Amino acid sequence: MLLSQYRRDRDSSSKEQQNETTPKNKGERFRQVQEQPERKQKRSDERDNADAEKSKRARDDRNNDQGRERTPPPRRVINVIMGGLQNCKDSVRSIKEYERKTLTSQKWGSSSSIKNKPDESYEISFTEEDTKGLDKPHNDPLVVELRIGDCEVTRVLVDTGSSVDLIFSKTLQRMDVKDYELKPCKRPLTSFARDTTMTIGTVKLPVYVARITKIVKFVVIDSLAIYNVILGTPWIHSMKVIPSTYHQCIKFPTPSGTYTLKGDQRLSRTCFVTEQKLRNSSRTCLIAK
């Protein structure tokens, strides 16, 4: 009795569900037929988007893994050793005190930046227009021509890696600078290869550019060189110069705006020829000995 009642209830409920899902007229049946492909396309698009997002994440993970594999962890840190600083004495104690000043500036701020006036702010930028007329690609140093003293001096290297402004004794001879103008001073200059060269003195000469005159204290050395003068960070910082070897020019602020001094790319490459000749001549001397 109970079993037959259960079967009747089950059959009646299944018929009601079927009546609910079955369209009542032809219009409803036609609408359901139209909506069914749209629902299928929507589900297909959702699956495609999910698959695309999953493959993108997998590709990014692989790229990150490859990047980590290409960049091995460093074994040691190589620091740069600078010599010939002009802002302190040539002693370990003085150089360490000069180094500690950076910590004070980082903590409390530079006193010079506080004194700057608001109208002294400036912005210097480089664009591809600055490379117009250059032979590219290139790997040329930045060589310029400047008025030093009463002479137009060519082959002047602008070198951010030099902590001193250098001038060579033969250059002074060609400029007709007298010996009494040279202040004797022997001081070691060390290159990155730890080769030491002793200076023979210092000389102060005016450097003119863009109607701005700076009295530069040059360190004088007596050795063969492919350049006449090397302007290092003392002159670069005093002029607030921003050099760019890629654009082959330097830019710095002036009262009338930003001034651009172009380098001489051809002269820069001529220095390579001079360097090659000097190298060959020194090799010939070694063979002769």
Question: pLDDT, tens digit, for every residue of 35-48?
Answer: 566 666 666 677 77
Confidence band of 280 (pLDDT split at 50, 70, 90): confident
Q: Which residues, at least 6 apart from 240, have a Cβ–Cβ distance to it below 8 Å?
A: 252, 253
Structure tokens at 185: 């001073």
Mean pLDDT for the stretch of residues 105-124: 58
Once rounded to an integer, what is the mean pLDDT over residues 54-75?
59
Whether pLDDT at 271 is above 70:
yes
Q: Which of 18-32, 131-145, 166-180 has the lowest mean pLDDT?
A: 18-32
Q: What is the pLDDT of residues 225-241, one digit of tens each?
A: 889 999 999 999 999 99
The Cα 205–Cα 156 span in angstroms is 14
pLDDT at 214 over 80: yes
137: preceding bond cis by omega (within 30 degrees): yes
pLDDT at 50 over 50: yes
Distance of alpha carbon 81 from the chain centroid: 20
* pLDDT at 2 > cutoff 60: no
SS3 185: coil
Q: Does the pTM exceed 0.75? A: no
Where does the pLDDT of residue 69 fall: very low under 50, low under 70, confident under 90, or very high at 90 and above? very low
